[in-house]
Amino acid sequence: MRATLAAGRDYVGELWQAWNRFWFAPADPATLSLIRLLAGGMLFYTHLIWSRDLAGFIGPEGYIPVDFLRQVHTPPPTAELPNPAPLWSVWSLFFWIKSTWLLWTVHILALVVFLCLFVGLFSRTTAVLGFLLAVSYAHRVTPGSFFGLDKANCMLALYLMLGPCGARYSLDRLWKLRKGKDADPLPSPSANLAIRLLQIHLCIVYLFSGLAKAGGASWRGGSAVWWAAASYEYQSLDLTWLAGWPMLVALLTHVTVFWEVFYCCLVWNRFTRPLVLWMAVAIHGGIALFLGMITFGLAMIFANLAFVQPATVRAWMDPVARRVSLALVGRRVG
């Protein structure tokens, strides 16, 4: 009995240590900083495009007026609550904006915030503001004209808030160098926490995306890639030549489903991780190139960078960062 208790105590102790190593070990903020750079750019571009028809999509009237949308956000009446109010937790700045000048003012300020996040200026503050603004836009167009890009953008912005996303590859870093603070950014537990949460979130995304596909006859049967490629509205490059290659279509279809379902297992093993991540680049790159969803494809590739070690990121990025810092502050620092 005593031995069993001791074994149990050892197990819990080791589990707690492993949990601590996974979540709280300090990590170099290089990976988080790279994701900030790329996701910040994507957030800026995504929201810049709303400017082409801001009143139509985001304005108080627009294609889907705010009042109408709030009815959709209202739960059905019940005996206890015959006149329910719209869900308070579905929120957006744009639900309260009634005038065109205010709409444009907020939009321009939002673009400034996203631009600051992209270049890494006041990164910790703009990361929080960027997330709040990204959710504001996403809720304004959900349902109506949202799609996977909004989910990916909000996911990335959510975790950028949690860590020192401007520690590297940012104007914040250059500003510190200018003031003579040459010290390398310290490894940070919050950088690790942010990256870990993004990794787990991504695993959940792929798991349910794979399970949803597994429920469809064409994904199970092997023809789904054809149906996606045959959609004229999605097509950006002609894929109708696939009609003559049914085995290739079936292979691509099945590989996609299995890759999504098993991503959450295979991405943690250091031998299978490169394969899984290159598959992500191939699949999302294919979606970007052939199905016209360049932004969504890129955003998902950016999210997959969460699985790249900070040392690898530094090997890629530091030579560029050194050149930039040499040009701007006269010192070569990564």
Partner 1 sequence: MSKPIPTRPEPQSGQKPAPAAPAPKPKAPRKPSPWPWAPWVRVLVSLLIVFHIAAVFSAPWFLDLRGRDLYALPPRDAQGVTIPPQLVRPEQLEFEMPVLADGLARFFTHYDNLLFLNNGYEFFSPDPIWSHLIEFTVFDAANQPIVEGRFPDRRDQWPRLLYHRYMMLAEQSGDAELDGAPLKIADWLLQEYDGQRLTLRWVRHHLLQQQAVLDGKSPNDQSTYEVVATIERRRGEGTATVGAGDQIVVPGGGR
CB of 209 to partner 1, least distance (A): 4
Decide: 165 and 305 in contact? Cβ < 8 Å.
no
φ, ψ dihedrals at 100, nearest 5°: -65, -40
CB nearer to partner 1: pick between 137 and 307? 137
Nearer to partner 1, 162 or 333 (CB): 162
How many Cα atoms within 13 Å fall on the side-chain side of residue 144? 22
Nearer to partner 1, 169 or 219 (CB): 219
Which C-beta is closer to partner 1: that of 60 or that of 334? 60
Candidates 304, 126, 131; CA nearest to 206 is 304
Shortest distance, position 87 Cβ to partner 1, whole Å? 6
Per DSSP (E only), the strands in the chain are none
CB of 66 to partner 1, least distance (A): 11
Q: Is 108 exposed, middle or buried (0-12, 13-18, 19+ CB in 10 A)?
A: exposed
Contact in structure between 173 and 30 (CB atoms under 8 Å): no
- Which residue number, 119 or 193, has a Cβ lying nearer to partner 1? 193
Beta bridge partner(s), residue 283: none
**Helix, strand, coil % over all residues of the chain, rounded to 5:** 70, 0, 30
C-alpha dist (Å) from residue 185 to 93, 165, 170, 263, 306: 35, 11, 12, 32, 19
Task: Judge contact between 134 and 110, C-beta under 8 A.
Answer: no
**Min CB(211)–partner 1 separation in Å:** 6
Q: How much is the CA Rg of the chain, to the nearest whole Å?
A: 23
> CB of residue 80 vs partner 1: minimum separation in angstroms?
15
**What is the closest distance, in whole angstroms, from the C-beta atom of residue 85 to partner 1 in the complex?**
13
CB closer to partner 1, 125 vs 218: 218
